[in-house]
Each structure stands twice: as structure tokens, then as C-alpha cells.
Structure 1
Amino acid sequence: MRQETDPRDGDIIEYLDKGRLRLAVILAEDGNKKRYRAVSEDSRELVLTLRQVTHALPKQLSPTLSHEQLGQELKSIRLRAEQLVVNVDASDLWELLVGEMEEVELSTLADLAHGEVSAVTCLSTASLLRDDTIYFKHRKDSLYEPRNHEQVEALKAELAVQERRTQSREVFLETLVKALDSTPDERGTEFDKVMTDPLLRRYMEMLLHLAVAGENATDTGEACELLEDLQARLDHRLKGHASRKAFHLLVELGHFSPDENLFLLRHQLPAEFDDVLEEAAAALVAEGPRRLREALELGARRDLTSLNLFSIDDLETQDVDDALSITRIPWGWELGVHIADPCFHIAFDSPLELEARRRGATLYLPDRRIPMFPVSLSEGLFSLQVGELRPALSFLFEFDDNLNVGASSIVQSLVRVSHKLDYEGVEDRMEHGSSALDDDLRKIYEVADLLAHQRMADGAVSIDIPECKVRVDDDGRIWVRQRRRDAVSRMMVSELMVLANACAADFCVEHHLPAPFRTQEEPDPPMDERDFEHIPEGLALAFALRRCMPPAITSTHAGPHFSLGLPAYTQATSPIRRYQDLLTHFLLHGFLREGRVTIDGESAHLALSQADAAMQSIRNVERDSGRYWMLRYLEETLDQVREATVVEYVEKRGDAALVVVHDTMMRVRVSLTRRVPLGEVVQVVVNQVNPRADTVAFRLAT
């Protein structure tokens, strides 16, 4: 703080230099700009501004002395002042003055403390009060205010807390160093010790937050300081920026695996179900068979257990929520799409329904699956397991012998699945099989193919982009599997799900049910076939078409879905895995049971909004997790030459292109040696990849 009286030639002053207080002697005013030439303790001449000067000490030195002599004098004053500080306690001064004076001069305090006023005693007293701020408050210049008793007690308590934190911080750092110097098995014990102590856990949670939030972490100053102190004790063995250091530390401690899913932690998606929900699920499982038998005996639902139902899923699927049937009727065929009906077991706004709403959907990750319902329900009571009596929402469609569509209906039913099939097995059966089931499959495909062509005629747009799924098995091996959407078995199941969902949408529109409708506007500007004439069939055309498509949106208001070629569309075929479908089931279930709308628009909209928030997080986590493991796959197959299709050029001129790498379906930028036609296949290799940094670069193979 500046003096009320400007410094004079020869004054010894304290000044601020980069946050530190130093001594200097004023030589002379430097012009008329409140700037002063001075000599510092290290005998350097410098220019000080009035703002830098805190106060002058009660002594002068002759400006005519040499710089070396002035520096030596200042050092001597500093040394003697430091020796005096240890002989005085600020509390003793405070006891003499509290309640007696509102403000006191530094010189008075120096006299009380040391019995004389000098440059040495004033500097010593100022240093004492600067280090111990509990008893006096520095007002301005050389004035100090004795704090009252309440203020002193509050500051003492605050200081005690800070001291405990400092001690716990030191214990925390020592514990980490000890843990890192121990065996991997012992590290877990040390980590548990930290997490059971509230004071130590606070520091670990800081590092956890920094590691999980990554570069988007906020309020991480203390965590970064912790890491720097730890780095000094670990000989700087943690590498990377702060969040990466925190991550590697947690890996070394055994709390994280090297492939820890930070995306899941970042979005705070629940992985487990609490005990109350697990108990509720167990109660349903215990009561389920009895309730189903009663429903069958009482005829409360249509008995379709005589139908030959079969499910078609991936080989590993256990949460089976749809099955198919086809039956000969006098005027043709009855096709059945039977969807698992959780609404038989749980009520809207019940704890399990609210939990499903909070989760939004089953989360599918490369190395694990986190269900929307407890496993005892999603893979047990709710799932259409072979041989088990199950409630269903059955969509029944009649076709004549020429496969012209006739009547359709939605019924609450009881079913029993006879066969669990997988997609590859269905392909083989349809091509080579000779059983009655194989004939049923071929007939269903015939229906599905006809329905697909009808939708295309009605304006639907088919975009065939293969889907690549990355999986990690229990041994940590990474597998990449490509699924073609136009595979016969997948096309058949997909088309029949579209049929059932369109039927559900029509029913909801007819009966004014506020279902979660999926709508998609027409492209703007409209698609013109001439814009695509120069693009060959295949990936280049598929990606060009996809770029034209506006996003589909979900709301409780019905409208056309452009790419499906339908006037209305909802989703009702995955109620075990997706909340939107479950909500549609509740609406259909209520109307079929009571003949009225049982969930009003406001309640449906609220439920949908709550689930949508979770769904956004799920989409992000699934996308980012899939990409991480795909980059890990590329890391393991770094030298492999891969084929890629040129699908787009970055600019109208130049050779920078976007290509789709066939074995991963990743769209990446590559610099070509020349501009080749869209759709041409080139060979590329990975140039560099860093899964944790989410970076990958390809180059043309040489």
C-alpha cells in the first residue's frame, strides 16, 4: 500500500516485487511521474512506482553510498529483523491492545514488542503481523487494527481446519507414495484405507474428478497442485497433461483398469440397481408364474400358446422382446408379431417404471451391457424365453393368398415361444431347410419383402450402410463384426418391426393416445435424382443420401416419417430395452384394457422428456465407447492394409477426401495422390492412433 507521504531520498522502504516483499533505498525521484530510482538488497538499481511501495522504515541511508554498501546495509537490517521475530508473539501484543485502540501505528507496535522504534524492529514487527494475521488486520500504510475476540476465535478455528487439511494432505501423499512402492495386491488395501477416511477421501475424489472429466474438468486447481507435489515425490514418472496423469495414477493404484470406461463415469449412468429395486424385481419373479397361470385360466388375455412362435436375435441375446408366427387361415395367412409385455407386471409410475424412465434404455457397450430393468426381469420374467408362458402384445395381420394386406389387430395375449433362432441360422434354414419351420420362415420373408417394396413405392428411402459392431470378450480380445442391413434375415425382422410399429402408430392416432411418435421431415431442398447420377451404387451413394436426410425427432405429436415412407410411426417393439417403447406399451395397454386414454398428454410428455435426457447420455456413451474400442482395435492391427471407399471430397478442388474404411466403417480424412472418382476403392493404413486422446489418422498405403 502506498504511503500518505511520498518517499524521500534515502528512505528505506519495503516494496512488492512479483508478490514478494523486498527492501530498497530511494535514490531520487525518476522525473515527475511518481516513479523512483532505488537500490535493492542485491545492490541492483531499479525503478519503482509509488503503487509498489508498502511503507517506509524509520531510518534513512545516504544515497551517496555505493550500491554495494547500500545493499549490504539492507541485508543487515533484514537479517537482524528475522532474528528478532522469534522473540515476539502476536497474541501478546493483541492482549495489550484489544478493546483499547481501534487503530495502531506500526511504530507503536514495534515499541511495545521490542522496546524501541527502529528500522529493524519495525521490519521485524511488520513481518510478524504479516505471517500471523489472526490478531491484527492491516488497514493501510503502517496502520493495524486489533481484531475483536469473536474474530480471533473464528480465525483460530479456520486455521485449525487448514492445519488439519495440511496434515491430511501430507498423509494422503505419503500413503499414495507408499502404495505405489508396494505390490499390486497391497495397493488395493492402501486405496481402501484412503477411501474410508473422510479427510483423505476428499483428495482422492479430487483426482477421480480430474481423471474422469478430462480436459473439460473445472475447479481443479487443488487437484493439479496435489499431482505436482506427488510428481516431485515420484521422480515425475506420471506423463501427460493433468487429467492424463490423474488417470495413470489411478491405473497404477489398481482403481482403474487401463481401458476404464471414463465415458460411463463422466455421464454418471447407473450401472447397478439398488436393493429396493432388486427386491421388487425378486417379488415379481416369485409371483409371476402364478399370476400368468391365473390370467390363462380366467381368459383375461387371448390364449395364443398354440401358435408356433420363434424369436430371431443375435446368438448372445438373452433379453428377447419379440417373436414371430405365421398361421394358415381359411382366406390366407395370419402373421403375428408378438412383443414382450412388461406392463402385465409393472404399473406406470411404479418404482421399476420410474427407474426404467431414469435409465432411458439398455446401454450396450463393447465389453458389457447395462440393462434398463434388473437382469432377473430383462433376461428372465419379461423375456420371451423358450417354453415359458409369457404375456405379450400381439400384432396380428391377415393376408390373402396373394399376400394382399387385410385386417390387423392388437391384442393382449399369452404366448409361449417354441424356437430361439439366430440370424445366421435363419439364413441357412431359408436357403437349405426343409422343415415346416423353414417353410414358415420363407413365407414370412416373402411377406416382408413385399411390404418393403410397397414402402419403397410409397416414397421410402433405403440407405444400405453396413453396421460395424466392436466387441470385447472375457479374455480381453477385441472383435469387430460387420452386419449388413440387407441380409435376408435382418431385413425380414426389421421390416416386420416396422410393420408392427406403424400399426401401433395408427392405433394411437385413431384413439388420440399421446404416444412417442417418430417423425422426419422431407429433405430441404428436396432430393433430385440428377444430383446423384454421377455417384455409383454402394457406399458413396449411401453416404450421399444420408447427408441429405434431416434428423428424426420424437414427440407426442404424430406426423409423417419421410425415409420410412409412413404417415405415422412410433416404437413399440423393444419395451424391455427402450423406454420410449415401454411408454407406448403403457398407452396401448391402458386403452385395450379400459377403452380410454389412461395416461394424459402432460404425463406422457413429462415421462418422455425425462427418458430423453438419459437417452442422450446413452447415445453419447455408446458412441464414444464404441469409438474408443475401435481405436484400440486399430492399435492392435496397426500395420494392416485396409480397403476404403472414397465417399466425399473435403473441397471442390484438391485431393483431401473422406473415405470409409471397410472393416470398421469409420469415415476418415485421407490425402490422395490424385483426385479419383467417388466410389473408387483405395488402400490405406493407420498412420497414428491414440485411443485415450481419441485421435486417429490414416494415410494411403505405399
Structure 2
Amino acid sequence: MESGNIVEYIDRQKIVCAVVMEVKNQRLRLLSENNREVKLSVNRLSHRARTGLDMSLNRDKLAETLKTIAQRRRTLAEAVEIGELWDVLNSEQEWIDLETMTEFCFPDDPTPDHEAAVVRAFFKDRLYFKFNHDRFFPYSEAQVEQMRAHGEEIARRNRIIEMGSHWIRRITEDANSPFDGATADEQQEFINILRSYYLFEKESPHSSIAKEMISRAGIDGGENLFHLFVKLNVWGQDENIDLYRYEVPTDFSEKLMAHTRQLLSSPPADSGNGIRRDLTGLRTMTIDGQATLDFDDALSFEEKDGHYLLGVHIADVGEFVERDSPLDREALLRGSSIYMPDQKIPMLPPSLAEGRCSLKAGEIRPAISTMIRLSPIGDILGYEIFPSLIRVTDQLTYYDVNMMAEENREIILLHRIAREFRQKRLSDGAVQISLPEVNIWLDEEGEVVVSKTNRESPGRLLVSEIMIMANWLMATFLSEQGLPAIYRSQPDPKERLYKSDEGSLFQNWMQRRLLSRFMLSTEAERHSGLGLGAYVTATSPIRKYFDLVTQRQIRSVFGLETVYTADEIRQMIQLLEQPMSCVSRLQYRRKRYWLLKYLETKTGQKEQAIVLNRRRNSYQALITEYMTECSLPLSSGIRLKPEDMIQVTIQHVNARKDIFSVFIG
């Protein structure tokens, strides 16, 4: 290597032609075709020629000559058919030196320019040969196919980023303006990529490409992306993003609906099947909220021979939903019906949940009945559980019952029985938490309506306590039969803040924080929170899969069902852990969204609050009107302590961003 030699090197993925001006300890000082001096190592050269230039020429002339040589070599490189060479040479699978490859490409007296042209051609198209300085190795057919697919994917990715970023800018400026740079299918692909990224962020398979599109479009992600979807009518302004994020099914497949229609085409159960007791002559009533359509529990009440006979009748869903049937698998996947202010997602198709399974007035329905014999002072004298047929006579609401609470003897007695049962539970160590329930729903005009319900009203207390009683007795029944079930238990609370049901609103709220987590197992254990020795949930089989499983265990006692083994129950508990966690998050987050949406219109409004505790830089308080917590910044000169009543002013609310800030008013 000496001064005047023509060489080439790679700079920013381009081959540059240069002449050696000086050689010193394997370091070269070069003049490039761009009339720039560069210094680099000999190892950086992609080609070196034996020919040279006259170094007596001035610098501009040298650069001009180099440009001419580079252009000549580019022209020669275009004539090299690398794909055809690979077709001939790939079967050999051995290294080929530059001189030999040049002779393959230019068989008639090749020159250094021809050699350099070969290097340029193979550098530009690296699909077929591995390139290592001055030798080449043909890839196998499988490698070429893989690299070709990879190259196509890269090209496709770059095309999506380029077109997608232009599309985002256009939509951001004017959603109604047509975009001719992409087809409808391509624009839908942009939407799918960005939607996936918005929902799953780093977990999205399109994360990198979406971030690049957004970056080139010059917008931030997050809310800007959400508003883009709203502009495109992909989502509504109040879209429930969690449904997509948690991949919650909101509809039933046509295949499942066809299965349901076939099931419903068979005649309903009647009193002549010989297994069930006919209780259709009993006067029975349902008590539910005004909007309820799926009635899964009913009550009957009789005064007999100096005692009371209380009946709790639960819709026998197992009669229609067979184990491991398509309906059963779908119900297991969902885990529970989901109730949100703006939407209800049922566990079972409505034609079943609100039709054949539902305890509708005037319709004969199969049920699992728990008949409880009570003394006049409310002591339980005995009980019996069996399959039955019932016909509901009265479809009542909580409001109806509250209105009847002081004049209807039956309601008065049921209310008294409920209160006595609660008192017994409290005497046995139950933790009674009495908090008002905030109800949120959308009216016919789509306006948010917020109200508070007193859970201690006669109607709600009556139903709540009698259902707890029924669940306890069904747990006792299954335990005495030696059957595994989804038993619920709960250790003692970490601390008790009050006795019986005498706690203040503050104490009730804080007591809830001190409860131990409930546990699910296949054997009955004490439920400290309820003050009961055994407990299951079986009174809502239309809405909850846990309850359906428990109901099936009861059915198995009467030969109506194959019993679940303990291992099967344990597996069921594991399978339901994820969907039930998802249901809880969805219900909580959607209720909070609509509450904050309501409070967005209340900025500047003053509200009463109770101080809960102090944190490092703030106080935590409970706004009593909405039973929701808020954070209060520490204010100089104001010292607060738990249970202080204060007034706060709503400062800023953003439902979409889950922001709720207040200050002491």
C-alpha cells in the first residue's frame, strides 16, 4: 500500500472512492471523491487497487478523477446479476475469492475497476452471498428464503411507518379530509397497529412500529391517540377501554346462540318428572332492584302449627346448563355477569338468563329449595334442601318492600327474622360493616345519575340476611354430606374498631380495611366476617359460576348431577381466579369512571369529607356524598386528625385520566 493507490471504503452504508495520500503505521490519509481528507485504518478498506493516480495533480483534479472512476464502477456494478450467479454457485457451499468471482462476472480481461464493481454489487445486494472483505459464500436456499422474507417484512414495516405517519398527521389536522396515500385496508391496518399499542403499550406486538409512526407524525401517544380514534369513530368519547385491554367477550358467538336456541326448543320442566317436589301452590316472591331482569332467588313464607316455614328457592340453572357443554365452557370463561353503569355483560345468553332460567312471575321453574323451620322468636328448628318446582306469584322491588315494611305482616315477620339472624351472627363474632351504597347509572338521555342506597333498609336487609342464611345452610348441608364445594372462609380481622353494629361511618370505612382476605377451599372452615362455621355462595347461579358449581354439588346429592371431586373443585377455583379478578377490576374502574364523569360538572362545588389518615405529604379523606376517597395536600397552618369533619372544594376532575383533586374549602 503506497501513496497514489486507488482504494474504497464504506461510510454510512455507501462505498466511497479515494486515493491514498500518506501511509503511516497501517493508518491511511486519504482524499475522497468528495474532496475530503479522511484518516482510517487499512482494515476499513473494502477494496484496494494495484493501479494509482498521478499525485502531482492538484487536489481538485484528483477528486474529479476519483468521481469519474466511481461512476464507471457503479455502471459496471449494475451489470452484475447476483441472483443468476447464486443459481449456479449455491450448490457448492464454499468460499469464492474476489478474483474468481470477478472472472465469473467479467470473463474478458477484468481490471481493478471490475473487481471494485463486483464488491459494490455484492455490497448492495446481500441477499444471496455472505460477504467478507474479498471473498463470498453462497447462502443456502432456506437461508435465502428466510432473508428474503425478512427483507420484505422490513420494507413493509418502513412503508407502514412512512405512510402511517403521513396519515396520522392528515387525520389530526382534519379527520374528514380524504387521504389518497393509502388504501382503505392499509388505513385499517394503521388503526389496528395504533389501537394495539394504545391498549397494551410495551406488551403490544406492534409497539416499536407504532412508536415510530407516532414520533414521525409529531404527536404524543396516550390521550392524543385516544382522541384520534374518537375522530375516526373507532371509539366513542366514553369508550370502555378495559373491555379491550382485558379482552372481555361482550357478545355470544353465533354457534353458541344456535346451541342455546336448540336447548330452548325443548319443553320446560314440569311437575310430573317424579324427582322434584311440586311447590307451585306456594305463594312466592322475588325481591330485586327495579332494573333486574334475571331473577335467580325467591322467598316463600308460611305460619304453621306455631312455627314459621321460610322457603328460599334458587333457580336451578344446572337443569339447563350441563357440565362441559358449550354454554358451561363459555360461563366458566366469563366467571360472572358484569354490572356497570352503562352496560351489563351477562354470564349466560339473555334468552336463558332472563328467560328459561329466570324465576319470572306466573312461570313454572325448576329450583333448589331450602325450607327452614323457625320458632316464633326466630330460632332455626330445622331445615331441608331438595329439588323443586315453583311458580313465582309476586315480583317485588326493594322499594315495594320498604313501602310494605310497617303494614304487611309477612314482610314484618321476614324483616324480624332477618334482624334476629344478624344479631345471632354478631353474637358469634361477625363483623358488620354498614356503609351506604352509591348507585351510578345512565338515564335514557345518556346523563349520569348518582344516588345513595341505604343497605339497612327493610327490603335490602331482609334479602341480604336471608340469602346469607340460605348459603350457610347449603354449606352445612354439603359439609354434612362429606362433599367438597367452593367453601368460603375468612380469618379474624386484624383489629376490631367497634362492637356489634355500633360503629360510626368512619369506623365502618376503616374496619373494612382491616378485614382479612377471604379464602376458597374444598373444605368448610369458619367465616369470621359472617360469624358462621361454614359458608358457600349458591344463591346467584344465573350470574356467578361459583354459585353454579356449588348448586351442582347439591344437585348431585339427588342424582341430578355427577359430583365434582375435590381435585376438580380445586382446579375450578384456579380457573376462576383470573376472570373473577378481571370482573372486579372492570366493575370498580367503570363505576369510578362514570362517577368522575359526573364530578367533572361539579368543579368548584363544596363537599363534606371525613379525614381518614395522614400520609407523608397529604391527608386521605372520604367524601361522604359519593363514598369515594381523595387526597388533600398538606396546608400550612392546618392540622387535621382522623375522623375530623371538613369541607373540601372539587378542584379538577378528568375521568379519562382518572384524576380527581380537591382542596380544603
| Residue 488 (1) aligns with residue 458 (2) | yes
CA distance in 2, matches of 1:41, 1:467: 80
Distance 1:576 1:43, change over 3 A: same
Question: For the Cα contact (< 8 Å) 1:367–1:473, is it kept in 2?
Answer: no
Alignment of 1:571-650 (within 5 A): 571-593=537-559, 598-650=563-615
Q: Is contact 2:620–2:630 with CA below 8 Å preserved after alignment?
A: yes
Residue 318 of structure 2 corresponds to residue 348 of structure 1: no
Alpha-carbon separation, structure 1, partners of 2:59 and 2:446: 72
Secondary structure in structure 2 of the residue aligned to 1:643: strand
Number of the residue aligned with 1:421: 396
Query: Residues 422 and 465 of structure 2 are in contact (CA less than 8 Å); yes or no, is this contact kept in structure 1?
Result: yes
2:530 to 564, 569, 577: 564
What secondary structure is seen at the aligned counterpart in 1 of 2:236?
coil
Counterpart mapping for 1:265-304 below 5 A:
265-289=244-268, 291-292=269-270, 296-297=271-272, 300-304=275-279
Distance 1:144 1:551, change over 3 A: same
- The amino acid of 2:320's aligned partner reads H
Distance, in Å, in 1 between the alignment partners of 2:71 and 2:652 is 59
TM-score normalised by the chain length of structure 2: 0.85
- 1:447-484 C-alpha deviation (Å, 9 max, x unpaired): 11111111111111112233334323454322333333
When residues 332 and 70 of structure 1 are mapped into structure 2, their CA distance, relative to the original with a 3 A threshold, is: farther
Q: CA deviation digits over 1:477-525, x for unaligned, max 9?
A: 22333333333322221111111111111111111111101111123xx
Counterparts of 1:63 and 1:630, CA distance in 2 = 83
Q: Which residue of 1 aligns with 2:302?
A: 327
| Deviation larger for 165-174 or 499-508 | 165-174
Question: Partner residue of 1:145?
Answer: 137
- Summarize the Cα distance change of 1:180–1:528 in structure 2 as closer, same or farther, 3 Å threshold: closer
Alignment correspondent of 2:208: 221
* One-letter code aligned to 2:261: A
C-alpha distance in structure 1 between counterparts of 2:224 and 2:519, whole Å: 40
Query: Relative to structure 1, is the Cα distance of residues 665 and 17 closer, same or farther in structure 2, using a 3 angstrom cutoff?
Result: farther
Match of 2:481 in 1: 511
Q: How far did residue 410 of structure 1 move?
A: 1.4
**Does structure 1 residue 671 correspond to structure 2 residue 663?**
no
Q: Which residue of 1 aligns with 2:663?
A: 700
**Structure 1 counterpart of 2:357, from 382, 406, 417:** 382
Gap change, CA 1:612 and 1:155, over 3 Å in 2: closer
CA contact (8 A) 1:650 1:658 kept: yes
Q: Structure 1 CA distance, aligned partners of 2:27 and 2:439?
A: 71
- Distance, in Å, in 2 between the alignment partners of 1:612 and 1:428 is 40
Residue 501 of structure 1 is matched in structure 2 by 471
Q: Does the CA-based 8 Å contact 1:516-1:554 persist in structure 2?
A: yes
Residue 310 of structure 1 deviates from its aligned partner by: 1.7
Contact kept? 2:157, 2:209, Cα under 8 Å: no
Alignment root-mean-square deviation, CA: 4.1
Partner amino acid, structure 1, of 2:416: E
Which of 239, 243, 247 matches 1:264?
Answer: 243
Cα distance, 1:273 vs. partner?
2.0
Structure 1 unaligned residues grouped into runs of 5+: 1-6
Whole-Å separation in 2 of the counterparts to 1:414 and 1:207 = 54
Distance 2:461 2:403 in 1: 15
Does residue 1:211 correspond to 2:206, yes or no? no
In structure 2, the partner of 1:464 is 434
* Distance change (3 Å), C-alpha of 1:146 and 1:606: closer
Contact 1:362 1:578 in 2 (8 A): yes
**CA apart distance, 1:225:** 4.2
What CA deviation, in whole Å up to 9, does each residue of 1:212-240 have, x standing for no partner? 324543452234445567x3xxxx5xx43
Tell me: CA distance 1:131–1:467, structure 2 relative to 1, closer, same or farther (3 Å). farther
Is the aligned partner of 1:55 residue 2:46?
A: yes
How many pairs does the alignment contain? 657
Q: CA deviation at 1:360?
A: 0.9
Task: Identify which of 111, 120, 129 aligns with 1:117.
Answer: 111
Structure 2: distance between partners of 1:37 and 1:562: 86
In structure 2, the residue matched to 1:128 is 121
Q: Is 1:240 aligned with 2:204?
A: no
Choose 620-629 or 410-419, whichever is displaced more. Answer: 620-629
CA deviation string 1:603-653 (max 9, x = no partner): 3333333233322222232233333333333334344333332112114xx
Q: Secondary structure at the match of 2:558?
A: helix
The CA distance in 2 between the partners of 1:78 and 1:252, in whole Å, is 52
Alignment of 1:541-552 (within 5 A): 541-552=507-518
Q: Distance in 2 between matches of 1:396 and 1:549?
A: 32
Is 1:90 paired with 2:82? yes
Report the CA distance shift for 1:678/1:76 in structure 2 as closer, same or farther (over 3 A): farther
Relative to structure 1, the CA distance from residue 507 to residue 38 in structure 2 (aligned partners, 3 Å threshold; closer, same or farther) is farther
Amino acid at match of 1:371: P
TM superposition shift of 1:446: 0.9
Shift of 1:57: 2.8
Aligned partner of residue 446 in structure 1, secondary structure: helix
Equivalent pair of 1:672/1:700 in contact (CA under 8 Å): no
What is the SS of the residue equivalent to 1:255?
coil
Q: Distance in 2 between matches of 1:96 and 1:502?
A: 82
Cα deviations by residue, 1:344-400 (Å, 9 ceiling, x for unpaired): 333333332232222211122222111111101100111111121112222222222
TM-score with structure 1 setting the length: 0.81
Counterpart in 2 of 1:103?
A: 95
Secondary structure at the aligned position of 1:447 is classed as: helix
Maintained 8 Å contact 1:398/1:408: yes
Amino acid in structure 2 at the alignment position of 1:322 = D
